[in-house]
């Protein structure tokens, strides 16, 4: 039950997010790594088996573990143990529980009924994760709307990049009436909320550091979504994160 286990999981399974942790102040890493490892474990649960009931059981395990954390108990697990330490007196367990519940959609192959349903999914998953990370770093209630705006943009960018892989795995990731350009424009508008974010919580927003380039590309050339061609040049990718690490900006 160590941070090393959480770090290893995130480094292997979510290298971009791991890069943002390593760019953050050392004190922040102990708070962010358990949250990101939890997110990875929950996001993987629907994909490790083709049996829906087994996937449901894996997600339920996490819901039960979170309920125990709310009662002040923790499980002897490489991620749940460190996560319990972060949750204590910092993060409402209900937000993490919403992340788990939202991931049930990934088990099945039904499409979202509407763009609003997709946005709700992103608010619960990407939004819940970024907001809990911000809370861990000392965010206040007045920060929530701004953080969740940035999270929606970052979550949408990541989701659009994942569309070809989701289709290859038999899912229907996009609503039938989906308008890539319009939703990308909404995401780009939400990114303006980065302004005014305090330096102490800025590392929580860094996982969205590629969102502007990805969403701008999707808006300009929507066909790239299905082609799996929403890529950011490596020099821009590295430079954007380096700039944030040096300046402390969100």
Q: What is the pLDDT of residues 44-59, one digit of tens each?
A: 999 999 999 999 999 9
Two structure tokens written together for 148: 């969740």
Rounded Cα distance, 20 and 149, in Å: 19
3-class DSSP state of 240:
helix
**Between 89 and 154, residue with greater pLDDT:** 154
Q: pLDDT exceeding 70 applies to what percent of the chain?
A: 99
Q: What is the mean pLDDT of residues 109-138?
A: 96
Q: What is the mean pLDDT of residues 190-207?
A: 94
What is the number of other CB atoms lying within 10 angstroms of the CB of residue 44? 15
Q: What is the pLDDT of residues 73-96, one digit of tens each?
A: 989 899 999 999 999 867 999 999
Instruction: Please give the pLDDT value at position 176.
Output: 83
Q: What is the pTM of this model?
A: 0.97
Quickly list DSSP for 94-119: HHHHHHHHHGGGGGS-PPPSSHHHHH
Q: Is the pLDDT of residue 8 over 90?
A: yes
Q: Mean pLDDT across the chain, nearest whole number? A: 95
Q: Is the pLDDT of residue 196 over 70?
A: yes
Buried b or exposed e, range 176-204, using 16+ CB within 10 angstroms: eebebeebbebbbebbebbeebeeebbbb
Q: Is the pLDDT of residue 1 over 60?
A: no
Q: pLDDT exceeding 90 applies to what percent of the chain?
A: 91
Instruction: Please give the pLDDT value at position 177.
Output: 83
Q: Are 162 and 142 in contact (CB under 8 A)?
A: no
Q: What is the pLDDT of residues 228-243, one digit of tens each?
A: 999 999 999 999 999 9
**Between 129 and 1, residue with greater pLDDT:** 129
Q: What is the mean pLDDT of residues 159-184?
A: 93
Instruction: Please give the pLDDT value at position 2.
Output: 79
């Amino acid at each position: 039950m160590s941070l090393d286990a959480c770090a290893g999981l995130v480094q292997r399974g979510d290298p971009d997010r791991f890069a943002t942790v390593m760019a953050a102040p050392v004190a922040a890493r102990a708070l962010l790594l358990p949250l990101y490892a939890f997110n990875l474990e929950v996001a993987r649960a629907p994909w490790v088996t083709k049996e829906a009931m087994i996937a449901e059981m894996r997600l339920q395990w996490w819901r039960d573990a979170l309920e125990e954390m709310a009662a002040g108990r923790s499980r002897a697990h490489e991620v749940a143990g460190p996560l319990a330490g972060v949750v204590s007196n910092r993060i409402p367990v209900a937000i993490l529980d919403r992340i788990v519940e939202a991931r049930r959609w990934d088990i099945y192959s039904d499409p979202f009924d509407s763009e609003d349903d997709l946005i709700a999914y992103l608010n619960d998953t990407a939004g819940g994760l970024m907001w809990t990370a911000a809370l861990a770093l000392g965010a206040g209630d007045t920060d929530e709307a701004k953080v969740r705006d940035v999270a929606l943009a970052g979550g949408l960018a990541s989701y659009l990049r994942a569309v070809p892989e989701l289709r290859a795995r038999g899912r229907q990731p996009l609503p039938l009436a989906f308008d890539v350009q319009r939703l990308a424009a909404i995401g780009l508008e939400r990114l303006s909320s980065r302004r005014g974010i305090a330096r102490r919580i800025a590392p929580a927003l860094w996982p969205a550091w590629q969102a502007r380039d990805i969403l701008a590309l999707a808006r300009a050339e929507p066909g790239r979504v299905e082609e799996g061609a929403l890529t950011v040049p490596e020099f821009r990718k590295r430079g954007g994160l380096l700039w944030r690490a040096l300046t402390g900006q969100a």
